[in-house]
A and B are shown apart, each in its own frame.
Chain A
Amino acid sequence: MTENIPGTIELHIPSRLGYEKIAMNTAASTARMMGFSDERVEDLKTAVAEACINAMEHGNKFDESLSVGIILSMSDDSLEVKVVDTGAGTQGHGTAPDIDRKMHEEEKARGMGMFLIQALVDEAEWVSSPPTGSYARMVIRLHPASEPLERK
């Protein structure tokens, strides 16, 4: 689907684990309609789910009165997903996990979300903009080989 693209879809989910699957499945449906391959759809599903979980946990501190916003913006050749929370933004970076340190219990087994997001989409960034909220922004492209790969 590359003609008459409607533009933007927006949804809000409570900061409760499990609801990230609604965002994940909405993003997947959108990507499929745009013609993304099954492999890219699976990449996007994991990235969106991880971004929503981070927003619930680190941004909104699991306060269920606070919602996480998901904005899907379609263009002819890419899908941008912003995941917005009310927090001050993340301090972390998507550094690759060190499995040896994890196996030797020198670092937590958890803490792979940002790495996975960065590794699975064509572009990822985290923007801190208090007091309005912070967001993770992800982009997947239909034809990534024809465009410069930008990973922040």
Chain B
Amino acid sequence: MQEKSTQVKLDEVQCGDGGAAITVLRFAGDITSASQTAVLGTYQALPVDAQRILLDFSKVEYLNSSGIALVIQLMIAASKHGQTIKTFGLTPHFQKVFTMVGITKYTSLHADEQTACAAFTA
């Protein structure tokens, strides 16, 4: 038995504000210590002008503390590049966990893509 792999799909969406496209990282499967290449590798491959980033967790099946640590590492890198990250699709349980560990100080959590997208222009 092996850990289920992490899938990451890159998307670009328009938010209706006439601004630059928003980059979306759509995660699926498990996010664990085995997900470093999928999570950080995908982030590192983003174009340098991607300033607004959405993290989509709506298809994540299993997330543990090592996976959360990778999300924090992604946020550290984004902070260094002056990028803004917003998050959506977390279950209520993982919204609670993200709040417990303090991640909400550095990213906002939203119920769905529409509200997360709109938060960039709020």
Contacts and interface: CB of A to CB of B under 8 A. Distances in A.
Given A18-B3, A50-B64, A100 B69 contact: no
Nearest to B74: A109
A110 B106 contact: no
A17 interface: yes
Interface string B27-47: 000001110000000000000
Question: By DSSP majority rule, is chain A's interface helix, strand, loop, or mixed?
Answer: helix
Contact of B72 (A16, A103, A113): A103
Interface string A40-56: 00110010011001000
A49 B79 CA distance: 30
Which of under 10, 10 to 19, 20 to 34, or 35 or more describes the interface residues of A?
20 to 34
Contacts, number: 74
Interface string B83-106: 000000001110001001111011
Contact of B64 (A53, A102, A119): A53
Interface string A87-119: 000000000111110110100111111011001
Contacts of B72: 99, 102-103, 109
B75 A103 contact: yes
Interface of A: 16-21, 39, 42-43, 46, 49-50, 53, 96-100, 102-103, 105, 108-113, 115-116, 119
